[in-house]
Amino acid sequence: MRIQAIAELRSRLSSDGPMSSARIFLNLARGAARWEQQLRDTDHEVFHEQAFSRFTRGDELSTGVSGFELAVLREVARRVLGVRASEGQLAATAAMVAGVSVELDTGEGKTLVGAFTACAMFARGHGVHILTTNDYLAARDFASMVALFRFLGISSAHISSLTSYRGRVAAYLKDVVYAPLHEIGYDLLRDRVAERVETRVQPVCDAVILDEADALIIDAGASPLVIARDNITPTSLIHDVTGVIAGLQDVVHYRIALDKTGVVLTDQGIHEIETLLGVANLYRDDARDILAHVHAALSAVAILERGRDYLVRAGRIELINTALGRIAHQHRYPDGLQLAVESKEGVTLSRTGTVLDTMSVHGVISAYTRPVGMSGTLRLVALDLMDHFGMPVTRIEPEKPIVRVDQPDLIFRTADEQFEACVRIVKLALERGQPVLIGTASIPESEWLGQRLRAVGLTPVVLNARNDSEEASVIGQAGKEGRLTISTQISGRGADIVLGGGDPEERQRVLEHGGLLVIALTRYQSRRIDAQLRGRAGRRGDAGCTRSILSLEDPQVQAFAPKSLLSRAEVDRESAGGRAGRAAIVAAQRASEYRHLDRHRDVIAYGRLLAEQRAVILLVREELLLGRCEAFDRYMSRTAAHSSEHFTHDPVDPRVLLRCLDLEWSAYLAEVSVIRDSAHLFALEGKSPLAQYNLILGGMFERYWKSVRDRARWADSDISDGYATTYSGSPATDPSIWTYLLESDPYGSTLGRFITNLRARGARRDRARSDG
């Protein structure tokens, strides 16, 4: 925490650079005004021809955008979309074309800024991808901007999880493509394991605009994308283990960590499991698989909650992205935990997967040559964006002053007191005709609150991951007079709440009532998410107000706040809202936030060497895919020379060598996963876990090539012995794609599990001695 605080202070002290650059971009935007009237008076056909020629791909334009270009873009938007771009939007466009990411407040029109930036980048010879967090936003933004692109002769398309192979191939040929980031990642993964050139979709990763960049990079950055082939699942063992764990009791047989990120067995729990499963010693090497299923089932039963962490719909487990409040489509837990959750809920078990390849969000973004981003909350992660992606950040102030009133927090000791205060404030607002949006932390909390409010005579509309398909209609009505909406984080990003629901007269009445009232019933895991929720009110100079109504019984406070502060808050003579209570809530959020940032940084640090190794393999793989073995032979000869061996092989079909590379890489990834999971144990020896991990991977990579050499030598004899399908022909199953959802560590820390295992083994030895 101290290191993070110093980093944040350094970021604030060094903010003059980006802020001064903001003035440069604002001056460029103001310069566009000199051409505005002239362009407005130009005949439509003449202007269309001028604009079309100005934004033809490949024109010799400077890296930075000119005031005249900005003026042309503003006039195009006015004529085609009926919108006059503000100075802030033009300044943000100028910044992003120059490679500077932009913090632009919610409601300031980032969708138009992204389209303007794409047009200017296209004119400089770049193909552009505009990446969002989900299918809904990609489709919505594409639909709203397609007319602008068409006017300038720029082809565009959008990709979703439902887009077919042919649709993807066609989309990637367009000049501008809207898509969720994970869909681009999945296409890159499919291409990386393709066994025929014609089956690849080949997205061209040139310039990229990251909409809600902090959500894409930080909030989703710890979840790796995976492509795998199905294996046979040990159904009976999983059901047996889950059934045993379901019968255990908290405290008696296991203990859950206060922050709900780990669970450990007690001695009595270990004995009970061994007895019911008929295992002599759960911690012996021959029981390793059973122990892994036990740990997974413990996490599924004791930590993960239906409705908070996942839903069960149509006989399937659907995971919830807690940072976004949405269903995490094509996400799953690591194999053991996924199966344990499915067994717990009584749904059909999915097949386990042999991982063929994996890619991090960092790897997807790093594939682009010109990354740039925008969001309403970038400054808090500016240091990470600069360190990991070379993306400087600036802030463009809103066009109109913010008149929103952020009222002081109300803090209570208990959740009941918190609810009573919430009801009082909501009723007063609704009596005035003021619309109210209440932000909650989870699906169960939003539904519990909805039931409680209905019980006191109110009629709330609840929006969460269960009904996210209704998001557009719910949000469209949330600003209407006297409307009460309860939501999870789903309403925090990309949600434009229009006061009055689009009716000018009703809008005026709502403004007179004070605008939208936003109430937060929790501090989210990041200050950025809090700011996104507050930003729903007072957009573009409108009236609005926000208030946080908090409780010391909040799970995040109980898990992360220092116990000394909680104790002082309990005995505070004034109220729970005294200095100690406020400090406890702030400390809990900061601890949660830094924990998540540290996990994100670990993903990048531990993935860097593996990505470099994969890049080497992909170079050799590309040659084999094209039917050439020269690169493979050269690399094999070089690696053989290090071990004083002489590498030769009979002429072999390049597809066979390609399969050799892929089979060994899959085995390599499985071994790397084990090493990564135990890397933290090096800290017990006073060594750097990351340095030791990289050292081990260096040696493993040499052995990888030796395994490939051995497999290539014996490929001919294996084929003649009847194993031809191992090396040629179509795989038995098409690869599946998913993202491992690792926003929390449901297994607890590796160090914690290690210590727990040591204690358990010690207890086993003590029992054995006493029995003897």
**Per-residue DSSP letters for 211-232?**
ETHHIIIIISTTS-EEEEEE--
Tokens 């000018």 found at: 504
Long-range (24+ apart) CB contacts under 8 A made by 640-643 are 640/709, 642/702, 643/702, 643/706
For residue 370, what are the contacts with CB-CB under 8 A and spacing of at least 6? 99, 121, 126, 206, 207, 208
Determine which helix (DSSP H) or strand (DSSP E) holds 761, and give its type and residue range: helix 750-771
CA 412/CA 553 separation, integer angstroms: 9
Strand-pair partners of 255: 264
Whether 494 has a binding-site annotation, put simply, is: no
Give the rounded distance of the alpha carbon of 350 from its chain centre. 23
Whether 496 has a binding-site annotation, put simply, is: yes
Whether 163 has a binding-site annotation, put simply, is: no
**Per-residue DSSP letters for 31-68?**
HTHHHHHHHHHS-HHHHHHHHHHHT-TT----SSPPHH
**Per-residue DSSP letters for 402-423?**
---EEPPPEEESSHHHHHHHHH
Residue 758 burial class via C-beta count within 10 angstroms: exposed 0-12, middle 13-18, buried 19 and up: exposed
> Using an 8 Å Cβ cutoff, are 429 and 436 in contact?
yes
CA 209/CA 661 separation, integer angstroms: 34
Whether 16 has a binding-site annotation, put simply, is: no
Determine which helix (DSSP H) or strand (DSSP E) holds 101, and give its type and residue range: strand 101-104
Whether 89 has a binding-site annotation, put simply, is: yes
> Using an 8 Å Cβ cutoff, are 657 and 195 in contact?
no
Phi-psi label, residue 533: left if phi above 0, alpha if psi -120 to 50, beta otherwise: alpha
Closest by CA position to 114, among listed 82, 80, 148, 79: 148
> Using an 8 Å Cβ cutoff, are 519 and 436 in contact?
yes
CA 312/CA 332 separation, integer angstroms: 13
The secondary structure of residue 728, as a DSSP letter, is: S
Closest by CA position to 745, among listed 568, 596, 644: 596
Closest by CA position to 328, among listed 228, 201, 468, 431: 468
Structure tokens at 507: 């809008």
The pair phi, psi for residue 331, each rounded to 5°, is: -110, 150
Tokens 């003590």 found at: 766
Dihedral, CA atoms, 750, 334, 195, 369, nearest 10 degrees? -70
Alpha helix locations (H) across 486-562?
A: 504-512, 527-534, 555-560
Tokens 């102030």 found at: 397
Residue 4 burial class via C-beta count within 10 angstroms: exposed 0-12, middle 13-18, buried 19 and up: middle
For residue 573, what are the contacts with CB-CB under 8 A and spacing of at least 6? none
CA 40/CA 653 separation, integer angstroms: 65
Whether 221 has a binding-site annotation, put simply, is: no
Whether 206 has a binding-site annotation, put simply, is: no
For residue 145, what are the contacts with CB-CB under 8 A and spacing of at least 6? 81, 111, 112, 114, 115, 156
List, as residue ranges, the binding site: 89, 107-111, 496
Binding-site residue numbers for ATP are 89, 107-111, 496
